[in-house]
Amino acid sequence: MYKGEEIRRHVVYLDLQECTCREWQVSGKPCPHALIVITTERQPDMKKYVNGYYSVKKLHAAYALVIPSITDKQQWPAVDKGFKVFPQVAKKKKGPRRQRKNRILSYLERTGKATRQVTCKSCGRGPRKQPLSLEGRSRSLVRMNQQRWKRKHRLPSLRQQQQRLQGRRRKLLTKKQLRRKR
């Protein structure tokens, strides 16, 4: 055991083309352990270590003869298996499920910041709502009122929010200090 892992070592015999992991003997191609040993040699001749069945000669010999094609299912040879194979039994379908997009997300699946509706302190309206309709007035007056309303109901910037928080903290600190003095 080394750092909680079991170490297994394999012995490679290059002259016998064997490894104790037995992968080389089964597949005819060198296993990773054998490849490490083989690549330590200068300019190794890989033909010595790979089985002859992987050669191009054997590939050409395998496909040299004409392979008859079977064009129809009637030409398949009949085989008596001694038993009959039935198709799989279909699983019962469950009732209608809630669509994935409409399902309620769990606490861990929710992403992003929590949002809340911000309303104006003076009039109680939300920041994205337009002012009441100004029918019967000129377009320039309507535009001017809309711009005035947007300036009045504009959300504070991040810097302004931080400054307000710092001011509130200072007020709280001064109140606590006054209480301690009493």
What kind and span of H or E run contains 181?
helix 158-181
Q: How far is CA 103 from the centre of its chain?
A: 21
Q: Is residue 108 predicted with pLDDT exceeding 80?
A: no
pLDDT at 122: 65
Confidence of residue 118 (pLDDT cuts 50, 70, 90): low
pTM: 0.36
- The answer to whether 24 touches 14, Cβ cutoff 8 Å, is no
Q: At residue 60, does pLDDT exceed 70? A: yes
Considering just the CA atoms, what is the radius of gyration of the chain in Å? 41
Determine the 3-state secondary structure of 26 from DSSP.
helix
d(CA 28, CA 53): 8
Q: In this model, does residue 95 exceed pLDDT 80? A: no
21: pLDDT strictly greater than 50: yes
Q: How far is CA 118 from CA 66, 103, 109, 114, 128, in A?
A: 81, 27, 25, 13, 9
pLDDT score of 117:
61
Q: Which residue has the higher pLDDT, 114 or 144?
A: 144
User: Coil, helix or strand for 8?
Assistant: coil
Mean pLDDT on 151-169: 74
